[in-house]
């Protein structure tokens, strides 16, 4: 399944085994903003999160996400990258998985890390959680050598576009239209330079 937050196929990313992050085969409650690295064995938990985010998937695909879509999160990478180049982070609360993010290291070129997908449980939105999660991702990427973060948002996802622009992302290009199951979308590719960017923690929470 193509993801709206991608260019071409849905992008994942990052670097397994990066210092400061622990790989877990089974999800467990941890600190609210401390991510864990997910694996395909966590697909059922991810599918449950997708079900709670049905508004997004109905917008993107015109239909509900499936367990197969959750599994695809770990394998759907650009042809020039391998699945092991990808990391998928999860954020856990006492009631389970409430957010995920996938980041691809050095794509489309060295120093650019691509945030291919990020979603927060609909029940936890509008609390500043998305901004805090992005700040964690940006700090991790910068520590790993990233000088730029890129992502893409569906033109139809005006709320998402406003969110990313509020974090200092600017438009690079528009791509598409591309098929997403029962729907077709144009996407807006955005970027944020880290070598000259203001810290996201200094920005007003939304």
The chain-wide mean pLDDT, for the chain, equals 84
- For 92-116, what is each residue's pLDDT tens digit? 998 899 999 999 999 999 999 999 9
Tell me how far apart the alpha carbons of residues 159 and 39 are, in angstroms, rounded to a whole number.
29
Phi–psi pair at 133, nearest 5 degrees: -65, -45
**Cis check: omega of the bond before 94, within 30 degrees of 0:** no
What pTM, to 2 d.p., does this model score? 0.81
Of 21-35, 52-66, 90-104, 115-129, the one with minimum mean pLDDT is: 21-35
Res. 6: pLDDT tops 70: no
CA 123 to chain centre: 18
- State the pLDDT at residue 159: 95
List the domain boundaries for the chain.
36-202
Please report, for residues 38, 83, 115, 158, 194, the alpha-carbon distance to residue 103 in angstroms, rounded to integers and kept in the order given.
12, 12, 4, 22, 15
Residue 197's pLDDT is what?
A: 57
CATH number, span 36-202: 3.40.630.30
């Amino acid at each position: 399944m193509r993801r709206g937050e991608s260019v071409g196929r849905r992008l994942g990313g990052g670097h397994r085994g990066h210092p400061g992050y622990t790989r877990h085969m089974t999800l467990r409650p941890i600190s609210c903003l401390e991510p864990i690295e997910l694996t395909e064995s966590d697909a059922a938990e991810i599918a449950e999160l997708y079900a709670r985010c049905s508004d997004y998937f109905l917008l993107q695909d015109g239909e509900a996400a499936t367990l197969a879509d959750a599994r695809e999160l770990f394998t759907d990478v650009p042809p020039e990258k391998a699945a092991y180049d990808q990391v998928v982070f999860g954020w856990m609360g006492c009631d389970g998985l409430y957010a995920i993010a996938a980041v691809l290291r050095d794509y489309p070129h060295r120093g650019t890390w691509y945030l291919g997908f990020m979603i927060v449980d609909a029940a936890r939105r509008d609390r500043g959680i998305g901004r805090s999660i992005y700040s964690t991702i940006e700090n991790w990427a910068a520590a790993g050598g990233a000088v730029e973060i890129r992502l893409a948002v569906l033109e139809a996802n005006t709320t998402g576009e406003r969110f990313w622009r509020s974090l200092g992302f600017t438009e690079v290009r528009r791509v598409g239209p591309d098929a997403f199951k029962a729907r077709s979308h144009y996407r807006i590719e955005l970027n944020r330079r880290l070598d000259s960017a203001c810290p996201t923690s200094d920005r007003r929470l939304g």
